[in-house]
Amino acid sequence: MKFFADTAEIDEIKDLAATGLLDGVTTNPSLIAKSGRDFMEVTKEICGITDGPVSAEVVALDHATMMKEADKLRAIAETVCIKVPLTIDGLKTCKALTEDGTMVNVTLCFSANQALLAAKAGASFISPFVGRHDDNGTNGMELIEDIRLIYDNYGFETEILVASVRHVTHVLESARIGADVMTAPPKVIKSLFNHVLTEKGIAGFLADWEKTGQSIL
């Protein structure tokens, strides 16, 4: 499963890239706003850090303007993946961009039917939001299971990009189901390292090493 970082914070992206865990980055207007920086500038800088897809989202709601925004965004780098909403105009834009050789991430997916539409429109990625489903009292991971089944039934090449990931269990369940990608805030990705027995083991090794009075350096 590929790991994408859901952030626009450059230092966090660099830190993850150094671990070898980073396969791409997803951004959205809200994340760019939090960074307090220029949208185009931040996107270009992110593309210089990772070789993987960098999702940059259009903000227009009509097809014609989406295409104009997409033209500006995909001029930043070949790795820019245009992010469009799961609407009729969004899927029109998806189809046009895909036919032109541009990666497209269809976002704000909340049903398997919507995911089916995106795949038929040629989306590179579909982004179902599992955390927001959980917030509303439904099981977001059941949505991932349904999409995986449908895509496998018909051989769709659209990659399932699990979004709105809130905790490590979402990551584990996504991997068990067979999702292609998950995108999460850096703090969630880093929390995958955590285990009390690992921490105890390190503490024990260090205590025993200190008793030897030796030094490697």
- In this prediction, residues 7-33 reach a mean pLDDT of 94
Which of 18, 79, 15, 69 lies closest to 44, judged by CA?
79
Cα 78 to the center of its chain, rounded Å: 18
* The pLDDT value given to residue 134: 86
Catalytic residue annotation? 83
Q: Tens digits of per-residue pLDDT, 28-44?
A: 888 988 888 999 999 99
Asked which of 62-76, 134-148, 172-186 is least confident by mean pLDDT, the reply is: 134-148
* The pLDDT value given to residue 137: 85
* The pLDDT value given to residue 98: 98
Q: Would you place residue 175 in the very low, low, confident or very high pLDDT band (cuts 50, 70, 90)?
A: very high
Share of the chain above pLDDT 90, in %: 92
Q: Would you place residue 138 in the very low, low, confident or very high pLDDT band (cuts 50, 70, 90)?
A: confident
Q: Give DSSP secondary structure letters for 101-155.
A: T--EEEEEE-SHHHHHHHHHTT-SEEEEBHHHHHHTTS-HHHHHHHHHHHHHHHT
Q: Tens digits of per-residue pLDDT, 101-134?
A: 999 999 999 999 999 999 999 999 999 999 998 8
Instruction: Identify the residue with better confidence: 29 or 6.
Output: 6
Q: Would you place residue 61 in the very low, low, confident or very high pLDDT band (cuts 50, 70, 90)?
A: very high
pLDDT at 88 over 90: yes
Domain ranges of the chain: 2-212
Q: What is the CATH number of domain 2-212?
A: 3.20.20.70
